[in-house]
């Protein structure tokens, strides 16, 4: 339950401008997670979220960009939990995820900052990654397989 809530928090802050703990709690409750402000406060601490400037002024929550292995482990866990399959078409990698997990998995892949990945976009259960070359696509497939298998 906690892991699912953490994945949803990462997804929400990656796709929405969430300014306060109350905003985050409201969004989580809308998504079916019964949480209190105290629970959200603990989650923010555990996920090591930080506030960054938002477009148009104000601030919003974001995943702290850390090179630490603890954050990489969290991203790998999100990838492993949401992954279903993948296939390539030249230098495009298409990743299928559990329904509703594509944005969280996509955010995790982006946060890992693999040099082969130029960019990625996500829908509900599908991610499309633009990779530099066909050879790089094969390398990314190997990296993902090492994480999910």
DSSP-derived secondary structure letter, 18 = -
Q: φ and ψ at 31, to 5 degrees?
A: -85, 5
What pLDDT does 52 receive?
84
What pLDDT does 68 receive?
53
> What is the CATH code for 2-63?
1.10.10.10
Mean pLDDT of 15-35: 93
| 143 CB-contact burial (10 Å; exposed 0-12 / middle 13-18 / buried 19+) | middle
The CA-based diameter of the chain, rounded to the nearest angstrom, is 47
- Residues 119-131 pLDDT 10s: 999 999 999 999 9
CA atoms within 13 A on the CB side of 64: 13
* β-strand partners of 122: 127
* β-strand partners of 61: 51
Question: Is residue 25 pLDDT above 90, yes or no?
Answer: yes
The proportion of the chain whose per-residue pLDDT surpasses 90, expressed as a percent, equals 66
Among 119, 143, 121, 142, which Cα is nearest to 131's?
119
Question: Is residue 65 pLDDT above 80, yes or no?
Answer: no
> What is the CATH code for 79-148?
3.30.1360.40
- Angstrom distances, CA of residue 79 to CA of 13, 20, 36, 88, 89: 17, 27, 27, 17, 21
**Taken in order 11, 74, 42, 4, is the CA torsion positive or negative?**
positive
DSSP-derived secondary structure letter, 33 = -
Which of 26-35, 38-47, 54-63, 132-141 is predicted least confidently?
54-63
What pLDDT does 121 receive?
96
Domain residues of the chain, as ranges? 2-63, 79-148
- Residues 74-108 pLDDT 10s: 888 899 999 999 999 999 999 999 999 999 999 99
User: pLDDT category, 50, cuts 50, 70, 90?
Assistant: confident
């Amino acid at each position: 339950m906690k892991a699912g809530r953490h994945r949803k928090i990462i997804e929400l802050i990656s796709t929405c401008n969430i300014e306060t703990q109350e905003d985050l709690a409201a969004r989580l409750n809308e998504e079916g997670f019964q949480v209190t402000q105290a629970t959200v406060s603990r989650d923010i601490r555990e996920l090591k979220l930080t506030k960054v400037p938002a477009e148009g002024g104000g601030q919003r929550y974001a995943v702290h960009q850390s090179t630490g292995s603890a954050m990489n482990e969290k991203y790998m866990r999100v990838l492993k939990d949401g992954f279903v399959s993948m296939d390539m078409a030249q230098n495009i990698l298409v990743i299928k995820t559990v329904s509703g997990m594509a944005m969280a998995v996509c955010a995790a892949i982006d946060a890992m900052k693999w040099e082969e990945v130029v960019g990625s976009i996500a829908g509900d259960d599908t991610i499309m990654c633009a990779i530099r070359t066909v050879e790089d696509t094969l390398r990314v497939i190997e990296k993902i397989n090492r994480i999910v298998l």
